[in-house]
Amino acid sequence: MEKIIVEGGRVLQGTVRVNGAKNSAVALLPASILADSTVTIDGLPNISDVETLNMILEDIGAKITKDSNQKLHIDPSAIVSIPLPNGKVKKLRASYYFMGAMLGKFKRAAIGLPGGCYLGPRPIDQHIKGFEALGAKVKNEKGAIYLQAEELTGARIYLDVVSVGATINIMLAAVLANGKTTIENAAKEPEIIDVATLLTNMGAKIKGVGTDIIRIEGVEKLHGCNHTIIPDRIEAGTYTILAAAQGKEVVIDNVIPEHLESLLAKLREMGVSIEQSDEQLLVTTKPSLASVDIKTLVYPGFPTDLQQPFTSLLTKAEGTSIVTDTIYSARLKHIDELRRMNAKIKVEGGSAIITGPSTLEGARVKVSDLRAGAALVIAGLMANGITEITGIEHIERGYENMIEKLVNLGASIRREQMSEAELEQLKSIK
């Protein structure tokens, strides 16, 4: 097991290139099984969530060949519908996309309940509601979901909660159903458009993605295709926030700036200098930043996945900032760790109230989930002295080569093996 050691306080400068979107990748890979011939996906991020999904694909009979870690050919022609128990499935949230994809392809699936970051309760009732509306019988037994349908028939499905996962999962099941499906109150995240683009290239008939009504006309079969994944707006946002804290002319490359409008507006409100072109952002901090309030919302609102990194930045702002996560009200595990680093943050009525500016001080901190990891790395880079970060496997689930990218920007950051004594201590905390 390794930890990250950061020596904070350095000014960061240079270019950081953003990889393909994690939250697209983790849906595109399960979606590929719906085809009857090879699907090529280019631009996959080299992260452990993608590795886990590749292993699951191989477990069910997909033949995977790689041109590089980014470019994968998935031949699904020999895939079989076998139960996918816990184990690998539990390692990540997005394994639940095999429910929609297997149901669409085989009209049955048996899959362990997904894992992923603990952000408070993460129900999948809207996914189930969608599968049932399409004609599936769904049983939840001993930690697994069993889905079975004689046939799938298009339906009108209204989502009670706007959900990225449910929107994608229902699309995956509906593209091979008989007749028309309408998903109302659908989510509009760019990753949903990316998945619909892949499915359309495979021969699916989908209209209205990116609006809150998606219309799907089922087809009999889907074929292989080539697809290039969109850039990761959350990775881009993470580096933009970092540059807003510690950067002097940091170029964020391979970005779709329109995907980050809510973040960029807030950073500009704080006084951060941001210039944007078609695929790049140029970001420079200012000696004094203004406080702002943020409330996370579904896209195109402020993304919950950037709330934790943004909180680290707000410790530097003059005055009081209020952060409210309306998507995951319990996504606050980074706060205690930031407090260890001298941040002045109170949690009241589900909101974090940050009083700044505080000078962060290096400390020993522990990552609880992926974006908390990004928040603590940013805090470590802002802080005086040394910060030791454990629990870094969470970060590796979603950020490709984060350490290397930061070193290229001039950060003093490295991985180090944990000692036996530290490992024992970590076990006793668990």
Which residues make up the interface to ligand EPU (CB under 6 A)? Answer: 23, 26, 93-94, 117, 122-127, 161, 163-166, 187, 234, 304-305, 327-328, 370-371, 398
CA 102 vs CA 23, 165, 321: distances in Å? 19, 15, 45
Burial class (CB in 10 A: 0-12, 13-18, 19+), 355: middle
- Strand pairing partners for 319? 356
- Smallest separation (angstroms) from ligand EPU to the CB of 21: 9
Let me know how long the chain is. Answer: 430
| Pick from 407, 346, 357, 422: nearest CA to 383 | 357
H/E element, 94: none
Q: Give the residue with the Cβ less far from ligand EPU, 170 or 313.
A: 170
Catalytic one among 117, 243, 245, 352? 117
389, 377 Cβ separation under 8 angstroms: yes
CA gap 2, 5 in Å, rounded: 10
- Smallest separation (angstroms) from ligand EPU to the CB of 55: 17
CA 383 vs CA 7, 61, 199, 333, 395: distances in Å? 8, 48, 45, 19, 19
Q: Give the residue with the Cβ less far from ligand EPU, 93 or 224.
A: 93
- Smallest separation (angstroms) from ligand EPU to the CB of 372: 9
Q: Is 225 a catalytic residue?
A: no
Q: What is the DSSP letter of 164?
A: H
Q: Give the residue with the Cβ less far from ligand EPU, 127 or 227.
A: 127
How many CB atoms sit inside 10 A of residue 421's CB? 8
Q: What is the DSSP string of 168-214?
A: HHHHHHHTTSBSEEEEES----HHHHHHHHHHHHTT-EEE-BTBSEE
Q: Give the residue with the Cβ less far from ligand EPU, 23 or 291.
A: 23
213, 183 Cβ separation under 8 angstroms: yes
Q: Give the residue with the Cβ less far from ligand EPU, 38 or 304.
A: 304
- Smallest separation (angstroms) from ligand EPU to the CB of 187: 6
- Smallest separation (angstroms) from ligand EPU to the CB of 424: 30
Q: Give the residue with the Cβ less far from ligand EPU, 36 or 132.
A: 132
CA gap 25, 71 in Å, rounded: 11
Q: Give the residue with the Cβ less far from ligand EPU, 125 or 151.
A: 125
CA 324 vs CA 18, 117, 232, 330, 355: distances in Å? 27, 19, 23, 10, 15
| Pick from 199, 194, 53: nearest CA to 115 | 53
Distance from first CA to last CA of the chain, Å, rounded? 15
The residue sitting closest to ligand EPU, measured at its beta carbon, is: 165
- Smallest separation (angstroms) from ligand EPU to the CB of 273: 28
* Residue ranges of E strands in 370-410: 386-390
- Smallest separation (angstroms) from ligand EPU to the CB of 171: 13
- Smallest separation (angstroms) from ligand EPU to the CB of 144: 17
Q: Give the residue with the Cβ less far from ligand EPU, 90 or 414.
A: 90
Token reading at 378:
């940013």
Residues designated as active site: 117
